[in-house]
Amino acid sequence: MTKFADLKLDPKVLKAIEEAGYETPTPIQAGAIPPALEGRDVLGIAQTGTGKTASFTLPMITMLSKGRARARMPRSLVLCPTRELAAQVAENFDVYAKHVKLTKALLIGGVSFNEQDKLIDKGVDVLIATPGRLLDHFERGKLLLTGVQIMVVDEADRMLDMGFIPDIERIFSLTPFTRQTLFFSATMAPEIERITNTFLSGPERIEIARQATASETITQAVVKFKGSRKDREASEKRKLLRALIDGEGDKLTNAIIFCNRKTDVDIVAKSLKKYGYDASPIHGDLDQSQRTKTLDQFRDGSLRFLIASDVAARGLDVPSVSHVINFDVPGHAEDYVHRIGRTGRAGREGKAITICAPRDEKAFDAVEALIQREVPRLENPLKDQAPTAPRSRAKKATEVKQDAAAPVQEKTTAPVQEKTEASVTEKPRQDVRKDTRKGKDDDNGRSRRSSSRRRDDNVVGMGEHMPSFIALSFDERRAT
């Protein structure tokens, strides 16, 4: 069995690895580290959670341990799709390079440009960045990429999903042609294949597992859900989520709950808090300080439920996540694998539960086609608590007919009715019509311009404000 001591790493790096508690490399690490130390380009394809980060950090530290960085010209560059993944890569460098004098800088959004500029001006050995913030610094004239010796692209397929491929191609063009490139991805889409053929030179290809396969340590299940009515579907789906959480009992120590939309992330988090569950949201619209605080709480166990969008689906290294719940079926089948890969890491057991509504059937069929297996069906825990179905239109119409056939009860009392009839029959109608312009009536007693009718009595069913034209007799209307 291969051990880290057999991989020709720097003794100071091996000491840091031993202090971190690792002895045996994962398959992707054992396959990628030797060619990387030889200076060759590497194309690593492995599912999430297999240790890809150490596959490039360990050889980079060994190769960069000698030499010195110049101002504004980093010696190496690591590109990551999200802030969280970039921060996690920086933490890996801190762990494995603590016995080696290397400088690093982290360029991500949500952090002051001035602080980042100061680090770059001093010169850094390792520059870890998201594509957008890196290009911002370059366009401001604060950064040069002509001194990059090693370039790493991490989670390349996620870069593709987020629309970063044009930025990646531009960054490649800004670096020296003689650079060494380490390229890692969980899947190999045609666009990713094109980039590797263009920018990598005779790479060593290490493919550890079949593309987009889920770890065998993860127990998968799907619950079919259909709302009773369209306007109740969202609340009933959240009720189902709570029932699934309660059904897992003590086995569910913590969980990441994925939603497709940021608005749903906030709504689900707020709903769980309302019912007494310890939950917080994380997505791209939150401030970086808030995102970092939420992740830290989830890692140290003070937060039980992390409600996330796909920004958290890649690169989050929380070893002890017991469950992943897909509140929504992801639109891209590959994202399903990356989501559930947050549990069952490093050989641990985990469970992934997906809620599938009728509109998600096609997307879930694509998931099963990708992983080449049928996900076991889980019975809906709310099946026996289904709400009463709404009455049909035919039934409502029958009830209306029955009501119409029933005798109508008099709503007015007898004294009021007698008084009303008396007021109608005994009091003669009086027409008072005057000429509004000259104060005179015409020959027929009608106003030349407009007329009004004064009534002191009440007409049944019309109230006190009856329009005057209704009180006119047929002969009067025809005469006018």
CA distance 78 to 243: 42
Instruction: With cut-offs at 50, 70 and 90, classify the pLDDT of residue 418.
Output: very low
The DSSP element (H or E) to which 97 belongs, if any, is none
How big is the CA angle at 466 (ends 464 and 467), to the nearest 5 degrees?
150
* pLDDT reading at 162 higher than 90: no
pLDDT digits over 53-67, tens only? 999 999 999 999 888
List of residues 6+ apart from 151 with CB closer than 8 A:
76, 77, 79, 172, 175, 179, 180, 181, 182
Provide the residue ranges of all domains of the chain, joining segments of one domain with +: 4-207, 218-385, 414-480
Query: 415: which 2 tokens?
Result: 């004294």
Give the position of tokens 């039980």: 304
> Do 4-207 and 218-385 come out as alike in CATH topology?
yes
Fold of the domain spanning 218-385: Rossmann fold (3.40.50)
| Torsions phi, psi for 44 (to 5 deg) | -105, 125
Q: How far is CA 89 from the centre of its chain?
A: 23
Least confident among 3-7, 172-176, 184-188, 304-308: 184-188
Q: What percent of the chain has pLDDT over 70?
A: 76
Fold of the domain spanning 4-207: Rossmann fold (3.40.50)
- The whole-number average pLDDT for the span 241-246 is 96
Between residues 155 and 354, the one the model is more confident about = 354
